[in-house]
A = this chain, B = another copy of it.
């Protein structure tokens, strides 16, 4: 620090969030004459699209959540700070973050806000306890415990009537995450776990994928959507469309079908992948600068991804709304890279006493979307071309291997996939005791409810065929 006092102070860039947007922005600034500080609640860069593989025992958390600090160790102008950002002050140009009770105020000259999104239960936050989302490592490990735990519970359960409830898995939301999750639970039940139990047959598991929309994977178009639905059904997944969830509790879920009739599905293990809401920092920023925020809390940014009246504050990824861009990794990466380039250009111009260069608008280059359904089977929509089946799966594989951070993780992931997809071994099925305790609390609740409902429950509850 002492050497810096004699030099003019370097331009300070603060990056909030170490997801795709934040990490790509930081890396893009590696040769710029700036000091970058990355602030994140977690200490890892999470490869969110593969969370479902942690939840279903294919990958370890380390393989998809490398230490941000280790990734950036070689980048001299970048510092990483653990902290939950509680507020941003646009006029004072400061970011306040808290880590384990210690508050830090960080000043910025330029700011890149890429705090992402969290699961949304559309105002029904009490669903969360019974149907965890799929946004964090904790979510994925919790779901791993619940999915594998349901089979374990069924195995020691003497009452065959309970088996149905324990071996029914409901995934709410038929976007890529929901489709991938349902597909992998089906693979677990119909392939990986076959022969591993004595009292139950995992193949009897019922896997339901449910969505209020009328199609699976809407952004992929009708054609790929119906192909995905067919593939899922072949795998043994029931696809229920036009079904709006009205309630979720410990032992099941209620939904309204497209004709308004209510149905209940008895199920201990539910997964929520139905909606997202931008980080609450979004609304905070919108209020300060008078920008509008949409229902999901995303800020309407200018064409150069900045806040109105604040050309030094960029919002990228899942937190911003612009041209109806989807909340996918590519939008965040390209946004982060774009924001970093603008900052680098401004700083370079200032160093040469040139005027701030005029900005070209952010242009998103659609690299296509893809979702795996099961091993050897994916759908991809790339440059107007629609691909499905094995070729799409190979494309999916190649793209994901390229974007996983770190050479070691790439090899390890490929290795895990070889064992999982060619063989039927999953190397990451470990469930911690902490997760078992959480499920235990759930189990007790479950038993209380069963006692409470007594024997008349079957009369009240409609069965879904």
Contacts and interface: CB of A to CB of B under 8 A. Distances in A.
A464 interface: no
Interface string A424-442: 0111111111101001100
Contacts of A80: 155, 196, 198
Nearest to A444: B101
Contact of A430 (B67, B198, B447): B67
Contact of A198 (B79, B149, B419, B426): B79
A460 interface: no
Contacts of A409: 427
Nearest to A439: B100
Interface residues of A, number: 71
A157 B419 contact: no
Contacts of A193: 69
A424 to B, nearest CB: 9
A153 interface: yes
A415 B406 CA distance: 13
B432 A62 contact: no
B156 A82 contact: yes
Contact of A136 (B99, B412, B433): B433
A102 B153 contact: yes
A137 interface: yes
A158 to B, nearest CB: 8
B82 A43 contact: no
A74 to B, nearest CB: 8
Contacts of A197: 69
A256 interface: no
A13 to B, nearest CB: 14
Contact of A62 (B60, B99, B439): B60
Given A82-B152, A82-B156, 5 more contacts: A60-B62, A62-B430, A63-B427, A101-B443, A412-B415
Top 9 nearest A-B pairs (CB, nearest first) are A60-B60, A62-B428, A100-B443, A79-B198, A67-B429, A82-B152, A61-B430, A65-B430, A408-B419
